[in-house]
Amino acid sequence: MTLRVGLEPQPQLEAVLGLLATAGLPVAALRGLHQPGVVEADGVTWVRASGADLLACCEGGVLDLAVVGKELLLEHEPDVFELLDLRVAAARLVFAAADGACEGRRGRLRVATRFPRVTARFFAAGGLQVQPVRLTSAATLAVSLGLADGVVELDTVVTAAALPGLARRETVARCGARLVAGRAARSLRGADIAALLARLRELLEHR
Partner 1 sequence: MIPEGMRDVLPGEAAELHAIETVLRARFAAYGYGEVRTPILEFAETLELADDDTLGGGYRLFDDQGRELMLRTDMTVPVARLAAARYRDRPLPLRFFYVGGSFRPWAPQRSQDGEFLQAGVELLGAASAEADAECVILLCDVLRAAGLSEYRVTLNTMAFPTALVDTLGLAADDREALLEALADRDYPLLETIAANSDVGDEALKALQATLALGGTRDSLAQARKLATTPAMEAAIDRLVRVRDLVAEADFDDTVTFDFGLFQDLTYYTGMIFEAWAPGVGLPVASGGRYDELPARFEWEVPGVGFAIALDRLRDALEEAECLPAVSPAPLAFAGGFDEPARLAELRRAGLAVVALPADASPPPPLLLRRDGGRYVLELADLTRVEGPWREVLRTLELE
Residues at the contact surface with partner 1, assessed by CB under 8 A:
1, 59-62, 73, 79-85, 178, 182-191, 193-194, 197-198, 201
Shortest Cβ 151–partner 1 spacing (Å)? 25
Shortest Cβ 190–partner 1 spacing (Å)? 2
Comparing CB distances to partner 1, the nearer of 98 and 184 is: 184
Q: Which residues of 22-49 are buried (b: 16+ CB within 10 A; e: fewer)?
A: ebebebeebeeeeeeeeeeeeebbbbbb
- In the three-class reduction of DSSP (H, G, I as helix; E, B as strand; rest coil), residue 192 is classed as helix
Comparing CB distances to partner 1, the nearer of 166 and 196 is: 196
C-alpha gyration radius of the chain:
19
Rounded Cα–Cα distance for residues 161 and 90 (Å): 20
Rounded Cα–Cα distance for residues 170 and 130 (Å): 15
Comparing CB distances to partner 1, the nearer of 168 and 201 is: 201
Comparing CB distances to partner 1, the nearer of 74 and 138 is: 74
What's phi and psi for 115, nearest 5 deg? Answer: -125, 65
Rounded Cα–Cα distance for residues 119 and 74 (Å): 10
Shortest Cβ 39–partner 1 spacing (Å)? 20
Comparing CB distances to partner 1, the nearer of 68 and 148 is: 68
Rounded Cα–Cα distance for residues 46 and 26 (Å): 9
Rounded Cα–Cα distance for residues 2 and 172 (Å): 38
Shortest Cβ 84–partner 1 spacing (Å)? 7
Shortest Cβ 44–partner 1 spacing (Å)? 17
